[in-house]
Structure 1
């Protein structure tokens, strides 16, 4: 599992800036020790492929989802909001499990797993950035956006993500949906 320090060394902060969270705010939640350490020492990227955006505490990140979406009800109290997907769905950490998830507004507010832990998410982002770099090297600057991706690279990223977090590649999960979009 990647440490916050290793993530900081390997993440290209010049391209994808980082958001750091206040220790006091993070310690107010019942996250695992590892999740708290990662958020305090490394944080989240401001943005990251595939089209994810994270928000600082000043912009609404690091609060209970039910505080910003009170129509969701108390069953969503355990979700701490940190950002959103390209579709505007909130990215949260499930406080009870320390899993990174998003709430799919278009699918009856279904909870969709992104990664089992924040560390596995960080590792997944690093290999995904490498995947995009390889796609562009193989098929040109616009290849990723145009989904012009060699089958071998799709197989490579699928295998790499599965090694990091097999649960995140089960049916209905974020990474499975993302990789499935390359075969449409």
Structure 2
């Protein structure tokens, strides 16, 4: 696989803003290696070197939590210790990396914290964030799920976050 420059790709997918409108759409957060002891080296390296945006479509927010806050979030949502909280959805659901499987998931509080699959790997999740943002910007959402399926076939299956969000965008 060729080197994926997430920051550049994500920033290029953002919409143009009118001059004078100061939205921090280009703000990224980065973790420190000492905060990532449980995860695979490629995932830790990605979070340290490339990070994640503070916010991204579809209504996702990312945060570097202290160990105390991460533990609190796992406890509130009944999430096992092998999940590393990355942030939350617009509904406040914990968004996490499963450090055992490498999958990115969220826990839907409306359905007893049911685990909802997003992507099979953190790098694929980052690529899908870019694709989703680009289709949103270009008003080409009808082609988005097919592009996500080419990146990560499992992420396009019914009941996944991407399938649900794209379906909602298409109305």
Q: TM-score range by the shorter chain?
A: 0.7 to 0.9
Q: Distance in 1 between matches of 2:47 and 2:170?
A: 34
**Aligned with residue 39 of structure 1, among 47, 50, 58:** 47
- Give the secondary-structure state (helix, strand or coil) at the position aligned to 2:91: coil
Q: Distance in 2 between matches of 1:81 and 1:63?
A: 12
**Aligned with residue 106 of structure 2, among 99, 102, 108:** 102
Change (3 A) 1:69 1:120: closer
**Aligned with residue 83 of structure 2, among 79, 91, 116:** 79
Q: Distance in 1 between matches of 2:114 and 2:72?
A: 18
- Give the secondary-structure state (helix, strand or coil) at the position aligned to 2:58: coil
- The answer as to whether partners of 2:77 and 2:109 remain within 8 angstroms in 1 is no
**Aligned with residue 16 of structure 1, among 26, 38, 41:** 26
Q: Distance in 2 between matches of 1:77 and 1:32?
A: 15
Distance apart, 1:71 and its partner CA: 4.7
Q: Which residue of 1 aligns with 2:17?
A: none
**How many equivalent residue pairs?**
160
Distance apart, 1:172 and its partner CA: 1.3
Q: Distance in 1 between matches of 2:108 and 2:141?
A: 25
- TM-score (normalizing by structure 1): 0.77
Distance apart, 1:116 and its partner CA: 0.9
The unaligned stretches of length 5 or more in structure 1 are 136-152
- TM-score (normalizing by structure 2): 0.83
**Aligned with residue 120 of structure 2, among 80, 99, 116:** 116
**Pairwise CA RMSD:** 2.2
> Does 1:54 pair with 2:62?
yes
- The answer as to whether partners of 1:64 and 1:77 remain within 8 angstroms in 2 is no
Q: Which residue of 2 aligns with 1:147?
A: none
- The answer as to whether partners of 1:102 and 1:111 remain within 8 angstroms in 2 is yes
Q: Which residue of 2 aligns with 1:7?
A: 6
Equivalence map 1:136-155=2 (5 Å): 153-155=140-142
The unaligned stretches of length 5 or more in structure 2 are 13-23
